[in-house]
A and B are shown apart, each in its own frame.
Chain A
Amino acid sequence: MTATLYGLTGAALVGIGLYGLIVRRHALRRLLAFNLLGSGVFLLFGAVAERAGPGGDPVPHAMIITGIVVALAATALGVALVLHLARETGRAEPDPPEG
């Protein structure tokens, strides 16, 4: 029951994160949306683990920790890129100006 509820929440978070990643233009907003999206995937995985019974399946738990660390590493690189891009161009978005 709990597992299903959080699994559905994870599914909803994936949609929210995906929307932010596609619609937003500011690079930091996109990084933030990527983190939401990732967290939704992890929550879904956590729900899968919880379905195994009380205490949960430790294998997905370990994989989620790995995923969280990897997401942080990617976010750190993204933040550094945005900072330097903003310094070089005064813009915080990777897409070329329109027109």
Chain B
Amino acid sequence: MPPVAAPEAGFPWIVLAILLPLAGMVAALPLGRHARALALLLIPAGLVVALLLAAQVWREGEVTYALGGWTPPLGIALRADGFSAVMVVTTAVVLLGVALFAQSSFRAPPGEETRAALLFWALLLGLWGALNAAFLGNDLFNLYVALELLTLAAVPMASLEARAETLAAALRYLFFALAGSVLYLLGAVLLYGAYGTLDITLLAERAGPEPVTWAAAALMTAGLLAKTALFPLHLWLPPAHAGAPAAASAVLSALVVKASFFLVLRLWFDALPGVMTAAAGQLLAALGAGAILFGSVLALHQVRMKLLVAYSTVAQLGYLFLMVPLAGGGGAAQPWDAGAWSGGVLHAVSHAFAKAAMFLAAGLFLRAAGHDRIAELRGMGAALPMVTLAFGLAGLSLLGLPPSGGFIAKWLLLTTAMASGQWWWALVMFAGGLLAAGYVFRALTPLLARTETPVLPGRPVPRHQQWAVLGLALCSVALGVAPLMPFALLQVGRPEAAEEGIG
């Protein structure tokens, strides 16, 4: 039997979105000192590919692609729905900002190759490919390999400076990530044993609510939560994210943890929609609530700016899990599901921009002042007004103040919490917003303080780096001004449960 030809669809942008970064990573090694140039060429090209893929999903609906022409369950399929397209585009935009920022910091002297300059760009390309593979994969085992690819790119990024504390942080990160992926794989094994396939679309048809499936879902969810650093499995995140070079922190905090969150949603809403119970959704949201409160309080207590930003990631990740019970995870379809879904995803995207901007800004303060102790950054705002503005705008989005992507996202989550009668999650969101205001203003106050003598940056901060930070912060705000397009795109490929009504 000859292999079945791939369904006649448009141009396979979905393949190119994965192929481009991975081929770039492979080519970076022999290219050596030209790896930076290669990455700076590929990242804008990748953004174009991502936008074309999103346009394809927008026009034609869900895109699937059988790799090698072998259709599931024997072969592996790629699938892009609205959610994946949005994540792929977000990844490309954040990477563009980060690359613009890093092009001067990871640059070898002419004619030479240095360790950090080669490896940063090679790892960045690998990480990008792994993220796209995770967003576009439709096979649970293949997603395991993609997650491992992501881990092995992210861990060396965290220890790129190879100091004692970053080595320890990277090692701890590795242990959590490995334990997480083994648990995930164990769940996948059980699903294969019960249903004979790991294709998400086929599983959705075959899997029913039985003990084996519950065990598998519990194991896979636990594994993914360890990788997402959801409370109480968050211990590895702050030191790993705060210890990395600023450009790496931005990518780790903005994007890498979102991949495993994305897979939690894939698992609950796409692969096993009939399996999840309402109680499980409430439990997941309760952990999210714990993350919001605990992470925010810890962020309030941090002395160093990068750690404050890292703990705020722990808190903001919590919001993402509130959307699970609100968007109909483990229950009958409700009119407000679509609103909660859009709110959750919008939060993931706007947090990606805001957090990338904040980490890069923190990196610039660190560079200018030579340290990042918050209390001693007095007057930095006058020295670096653009960066401070960016930090403030990003903070606006974290707080959920209008106009910002974070505001729309939190507004949608709040209204659906009220509409669905789950008012307790609304309370958590109010408290989280107040605490976020606390830690953002705590970081901003010394920056904006007037000093007797004007503070001068110890080391000059290049203009283009300031623009990169401001650009990312503006993206997160802009999401609140023109949010209508992504809303409709997000609903492409949504299963019935979330398709009814617009919230």
Residues of A within 8 A of B (CB): 14, 21, 27, 30, 34, 37-38, 41, 44-45, 48, 51, 59-60, 63, 66-67, 70, 73-74, 77-78, 81-82, 84-85, 88-89, 94-96
Interface residues of B in 5-57 (CB under 8 A from A): none
B contact residues, range: 20 to 34
Q: Does the CB pair A77–B185 fall under 8 Å?
A: no
Q: Judge whether A85 and B151 touch: CB under 8 Å.
A: no
B193 contacts A by Cβ under 8 Å? yes
CB of B383 closer than 8 Å to a CB of A: no
User: Is there an interface contact between B189 and A44, defined as CB atoms closer than 8 Å?
Assistant: yes
Check B4 for interface membership: any CB of A closer than 8 A.
no
Known: A41-B186, A48-B193, A77-B156. A94 touches B151 (CB 8 A): no
Instruction: Choose from B148, B163, B169 the contact partner of A88 (Cβ within 8 Å).
Output: B163
Residues in chain A near residue B193, CB distance under 8 A: 48, 51
A77 & B152 in contact (Cβ 8 Å cutoff): yes
The reply on B172 being an interface residue by CB < 8 A is yes
> With an 8 A cutoff between CB atoms, is B207 at the interface?
no
| Residues from chain B with Cβ under 8 Å of A41 in the complex | 182, 185-186, 189
Known contacts A48-B189, A48-B192; A77/B174 CB under 8 A: yes
Residue ID in chain A nearest B193 by CB atoms: A48
| A63: B residues at CB distance < 8 A | 141
Q: Any chain A CB within 8 A of the CB of B178?
A: yes
| Contact residues in B for A60 (Cβ distance below 8 Å) | 189, 192
The chain A residue sitting closest to B197, CB to CB, is A59
Closest to B174 in A: A78
Tell me whether B159 is interfacial, beta carbon within 8 Å.
yes
- Return A63 CB to nearest CB of chain B, in Å: 5
- A85 touching B168 by the CB < 8 A rule? yes
Contact B185 A67, beta carbon cutoff 8 Å: yes
Residues of B within 8 A of A84 (CB): 162, 167
Q: Which positions in B face A, CB cutoff 8 Å?
A: 74, 141, 144-145, 148, 151-152, 155-156, 159, 162-164, 167-172, 174-175, 178-179, 182, 185-186, 189, 192-193
For residue B192, which residues in chain A have a CB less than 8 angstroms away from its CB? 45, 48, 60
Complex contacts, B156 vs chain A, CB 8 Å: 77
> Are A85 and B152 neighbours in the complex by a CB distance under 8 Å?
no
Shortest Cβ gap from B75 to chain A (Å): 10
Given A60-B192, A70-B148, A85-B167, A34–B175 Cβ distance below 8 Å? yes
A20 to B383, CA, bound (A): 52
Q: Does A74 contact B162, Cβ atoms closer than 8 Å? A: no
Query: Given A77-B174, A85-B167, are A37 and B141 also a contact pair (CB < 8 Å)?
Result: no
Of the residues B145, B170, B182, contact of A34 by C-beta under 8 Å: B182
B171 touches which one: A38, A51, A85 (CB < 8 A)? Answer: A85
Interface contact A81-B159, CB-CB below 8 Å: yes
Whether A30 contacts B186 in the complex (CB less than 8 A), given A81-B170, A88-B163, A89-B168, comes out as no
With contacts A94-B168, A94-B172 known, is A74 near B148, CB below 8 A? yes
Q: How far is the CB of A95 from chain B (nearest CB, A)?
A: 7
CB distance from A65 to the nearest CB of B (A): 12
Further contacts, 10 of them, CB under 8 A, given A34-B175, A70-B148: A37-B179, A41-B182, A45-B189, A45-B192, A48-B189, A74-B148, A77-B152, A78-B174, A81-B167, A96-B168
B123 to A: closest C-beta gap in Å:
12
Residues of B within 8 A of A96 (CB): 168
Report B206 CB to chain A, min CB distance, Å.
15
Nearest 9 pairs between A and B by C-beta?
A: A48-B193, A88-B164, A94-B171, A94-B172, A85-B167, A94-B168, A45-B189, A81-B171, A89-B164
Cβ-defined partner of B145 (8 Å) among A21, A30, A66, A88: A66
Contact call B155/A77, Cβ cutoff below 8 A: yes
Residue in chain A with minimal CB distance to B162: A84
Q: Which residue of A lies closest to B179 (CB)?
A: A21
A31 to B167, CA, bound (A): 15
Task: Please measure, in the bound complex, the distance between the C-alpha atom of A7 and the C-alpha atom of B178, giving whole angstroms.
Answer: 22
A37 to B155, CA, bound (A): 21
